Structure formats: structure tokens, C-alpha cells
Amino acid sequence: MKKTNLDKNRKNDTRQTRGILYFSFLIFLVFVSIIILCSLTIIMSGCAVKDLKLDKVQVAIKGKAEIAEMVICKNVDSSHAPVDPTAVFDPGTNSIFLSVKFTNFKITDKLKVTWTYIDTNRELSVQEFSPPEFSSGYYSFNISTANAFPGGKYTAQVELNGDIVKTIEFSIKVN
């Protein structure tokens, strides 16, 4: 009889030990899960702060986004620099370029050009550009038509981040 009671006690102890181990393992899993979630939250929020700080550092070191030059021209080269600058185009012109030289542009900066035919006060096109990464250089805008543009006066209004920088006037000679 004593063996039987001893065996029962051992079985009960084993069950209790297994229960305690199982419960301890569950608490451990919950604890590890909480730590992982907290770590991911900190990492994700740290990335946003890091990007924000990097953006501010770039502005502080390299300066504010600026437009150095804007030129109406007949064409642009492979780097988008102006070729054949002019303010007066010949009749029959069907393509006009605006070359813009910019510095310290972040991905959040936006350059916008509104092309207008002044003689009829008709907006021809609105075009926008934001760089894919922090950069400086040239960017070109272009309007074109299958036939020739009508003779008369035109403008290209340039905006940087919503502020008008300059309105450039140009014309196409009337036949």
C-alpha cells in the first residue's frame, strides 16, 4: 500500500511539475512576444525620427532648395541643360522647353510649371517634378503639339513648393 500511495504522490507531483512548466513556458512566450513587439515599435518609430533628422541635417549642411536658373529654349542636352535659349520662336514651332537648374532638392520639394497662352488666357499645361532623392542639377519641362503653336505671347510660371518663383514670358512670331 505504501508503494501505491508513493506512486500516486509521484504521479501527482509529475502532473503538477508539468503544469507549472507548461504555465511557465506560456508566460515566457507572452513575455518574449511583448519584447519583440516593443522592439519593433521602437525600431519603426526610430526610423521615422532618423529620416526626419537626416532631412534636417541635409538642409543645414547643403542649404535650402533653390532655383539657380530658368531658361526657355528650343532644346535640352542629355543632362537637361538648355540648348538654343530664346524668348522668340519662329512660326511653325511645335516644341518648347523650359530648363531649370536647381540645388539642394529633397524628395519633398516640388517644382511646378504652368504654361499659358496669354493671347487667349488659356492654360496649356501644368507639369510637376519632385526628385527621387536629394539632388542638384537640371530638369526640363516640355510642351509640344502635333501642329505648330499659334503666334502670340506665352508664359511659363515656375513655382517651388507652392511659391511663385518667376513667370517667364516668351513669344512665337506671327506669320
- pLDDT tens by residue, 17-49: 777 777 777 777 777 778 777 666 666 655 444
**Residues 39 and 69: beta-carbon distance below 8 Å:** no
**pLDDT surpassing 80 at residue 96:** yes
Domain map of the chain by residue range?
1-62, 66-172
Which percentage of the chain shows pLDDT scores above 90?
Answer: 59
* 3-class secondary-structure state, position 94: coil
Q: Name the pLDDT band for 4 (thresholds 50, 70, 90).
A: low
**Residues 71 and 85: beta-carbon distance below 8 Å:** yes
Lowest mean pLDDT among 13-22, 52-61, 78-87, 129-138: 52-61
pTM over 0.75: no
Supply the pLDDT for residue 3: 56
Q: Distance between CA 104 and CA 109 in Å, rounded?
A: 9
Q: DSSP secondary-structure letter at 79?
A: T
Q: Does domain 66-172 have CATH number 3.40.50.150?
A: no
pLDDT in tens, 42-78: 666 554 444 444 444 444 446 889 999 999 999 999 9
Supply the pLDDT for residue 53: 44
Supply the pLDDT for residue 58: 44
Count the Cβ atoms, other than its own, within 10 Å of residue 142.
15
**Length of the chain measured in residues:** 175
Residues 6+ apart with CB under 8 A from 28: none
Supply the pLDDT for residue 2: 55
**Residues 125 and 151: beta-carbon distance below 8 Å:** no
Q: DSSP secondary-structure letter at 161?
A: T
**Residues 92 and 145: beta-carbon distance below 8 Å:** no
Which percentage of the chain shows pLDDT scores above 70?
Answer: 77
Q: Distance between CA 37 and CA 68 in Å, rounded?
A: 48
Buried/exposed 28-51: b ≥16 CB within 10 Å, e otherwise? eeeeeeeeeeeeeeeeeeeeeeee
